[in-house]
Structure 1
């Protein structure tokens, strides 16, 4: 979980992590974003990128859908509500690497 205020580099940090995976690991990575901030070109990883409002109605629904796609890694663009937080926690409990951001006043 990457936290911090707007403009602190949360999305850039996660994009760097996902790009490192793409260059070094073989994984299926599903992203759920609002909007999609970085377009990834598959190198070693297969990316499935979903946008809230276009491909799914909410982060939580997109996350539940992602679990049916056999992902190794799930990136949730932002945890904004209880349902998304609960679904992300459940996904992590089933062995998926779940990466997300959360707004906070300070970087943590």
Structure 2
């Protein structure tokens, strides 16, 4: 049986987790002070995901770039592909928080959305 040590990132407590894994399946999670910690430990050891943040170019705007993020978490192994797709994206101003910048990023079914407003010049 394998044991992995993690720090839970679901809240500021940062509980030290110990996840026991047997033949690729999580057997137990200990060290968590709430149910979210257990869920995080299981997910991190079986299918880790992340929120991707970046910027994209803006044409005709008061700012040269606008910040963006994935609308939800995506598989960790798709992060590089997602960021690579964003290198070629340019949007026209105005841009508003929540605007969909790119649909189905890295074939994950998750959209990239703006996290900042950018008015047109």
More strand by share: 2
More helix by share: 1
Asked which structure has the greater CA Rg, the reply is: 2
Same fold (TM over 0.5): no
Taking structure 1 as the reference length, the TM-score comes to: 0.25
Taking structure 2 as the reference length, the TM-score comes to: 0.23
